[in-house]
Structure 1
């Protein structure tokens, strides 16, 4: 995984099909690329990744591509699926579980874009800040 003692800056993974697996992959990536990131920021990235992957599995038949890219001061998360439907924010009903995922991602990330690929699906890109804990 390391070349010349340097951690990876980009990871393209076999597409995780659960939020748990996506968190595991992301946690390992951040440990290698951003070892000094604050715990709160890492937790926000892990929550965002989990929600993006869970939504792709639940609403779009699964993840078709998953990428992590370490950038100055943060990480870019890309999750692709086979649905051409844009995510939508739903009115939250406290008596019904769920419905918070897309709202959480938009709240935690500094930038979120949705790119439709006609006949193929979509890619959601979310940028998350990573400040140093020290």
Structure 2
């Protein structure tokens, strides 16, 4: 079973990387579905949460992070946790709106991610940008 999937972007790459392609929310959700579908232990709830989390992470990278520069998804060795990593070109950490206006869309993504994730971390990358890593129980 393949427990690792990577979607690279034009800015990433490397000798052993697949051909560069820009990750979209839909392509990232497809990667997650491919990772989780073979697992009998993966619940529909976990897959839905993972799809929502990755959509928010990528949307935030595109909207607030200066553009998506990397995406990676994999399972831990016993396939009980999904790890998502999203990189963007901004060193600014994500923020939650203290009290988003219920009548206005947006401002809830980071709070949603933190609620869904088992763990969540932000690392500033050398040079520029950041990597957000979240794990989700399967």
TM-score (normalizing by structure 1): 0.84
The answer for the alignment partner of 1:67 in structure 2 is 72
Number of residue equivalences: 123
| Structure 1 runs not aligned, ≥5 long | 1-6
The answer for the alignment partner of 1:88 in structure 2 is 95
Equivalent residues of 2:81, 2:136 under 8 A apart: yes
The answer for the alignment partner of 2:33 in structure 1 is 27
CA–CA distance in structure 1, aligned partners of residues 24 and 40 of structure 2: 24
Structure-2 change in CA distance of 1:58 and 1:35 (3 Å): farther
Aligned mate of 1:44, from 39, 49, 53: 49
CA–CA distance in structure 2, aligned partners of residues 118 and 96 of structure 1: 36
CA–CA distance in structure 2, aligned partners of residues 21 and 9 of structure 1: 17
Q: Let me know the Cα RMSD of the aligned residues.
A: 1.5
Structure possessing the higher relative contact order (Cα contacts under 8 Å, 6 or more residues apart): 1
TM-score (normalizing by structure 2): 0.82
| Structure 2 runs not aligned, ≥5 long | 10-21
- Cα-to-partner distance string for 1:51-100 (whole Å, 9 max, x where unaligned): 00110011112211111120131111000111100000113111110111
Aligned mate of 2:121, from 98, 113, 119: 113
Equivalent residues of 2:86, 2:133 under 8 A apart: yes
The answer as to 2:112 corresponding to 1:104 is yes
* Displacement of 1:17: 4.0
SS in 1 for 2:62: helix
The answer for the alignment partner of 1:8 in structure 2 is 2
* Displacement of 1:119: 2.8
